Amino acid sequence: MAHTELKAMSFPFKDPKFIFFTDFDGTITLKDSNDFMTDNIGFGGDMRRQGNRDVLENHKTFRDSFREMMDSVTRPFPECVDYLVENIKLDPHFNEFFQWALKNEIPTVVLSSGMRPVIKGILEKLVGKDADKIDIVCNEAVAREGKRIDEEGGWRIEYHDESGFGHDKSLEIRPYAKLPANKRPTMFYAGDGVSDLSAARETDLLFAKKGHDLVSYCARENVPFTIFEDWSSILATVKKIVAGKQSVDEAAKEGFEMYKQGAAGVKPANGHAK
């Protein structure tokens, strides 16, 4: 991929020194919109959680598990969007982080396994006029063959790529990592769960949400990470790194120490993800 095709190198700022990539559901938002929809108007939380376990234990691809979740929701898609925009809230500190990032010319890029109309609807409502400065790379929702997207059982998820993730987030990040040293920005990523596994190795510093599946995965696979509870802790760490007061390696070392001490919200587990 050519440098000119790397959108975050020119939008909304040219040649940034830092880029913040982030998951959306359960990371920027307090609740995962897809989980919320599946639990309340789909096949329910028990089946969803079993699907997550199957993915973490390599019994099933995320692509297949997530399609099963979305297929269990049969309401017309516009009703789904309205339902989620009404019920999903942002982390209370995300807007503070985002406004600071804009002032410091740090692009924020959402890499999501969710669907564009849902993400755009929530961000437009809760971020406001600056929401269009967030680049969104995600899946889509399309009409099923012979049906309309606004009728019962009329929609399905359309994946971003052909990978086992449906949207392999690492494919978006990796071309930036291959830029020449004098062009390559320092890259951050924030996530919480199984859809973030492909991205976990790709950036300079990974923020893994306390108490969630991604922490267990990173510890098991020796992927450097630090812990966040909300976006205030992300902002504090990124501010220190941007100011040159802390290195990404030092931040990652802190995260693994928290995990070993049992302060990451999951139990250290002899190499096994919980």
Nearest-10 Cα torsion for 236, 119, 108, 245: 10
| Position 174 pLDDT exceeds 80 | yes
All structural domains of the chain, each given as residue ranges with its CATH number in brackets, are 14-261 (3.40.50.1000)
Q: Which residue type sits at 168? A: D
The sheet that has 226-228: what strands, in order across it?
Answer: 155-158, 135-143, 108-115, 18-22, 186-191, 205-209, 226-228
- Confidence (pTM): 0.91
Structural element, H or E, at residue 242? helix 231-242
Beta strands in 166-224 (DSSP E): 186-191, 205-209
Active site residues: 23, 25
pLDDT in tens, 92-141: 999 999 999 999 999 999 999 999 999 999 999 999 999 999 999 999 99
pLDDT at 135: 97
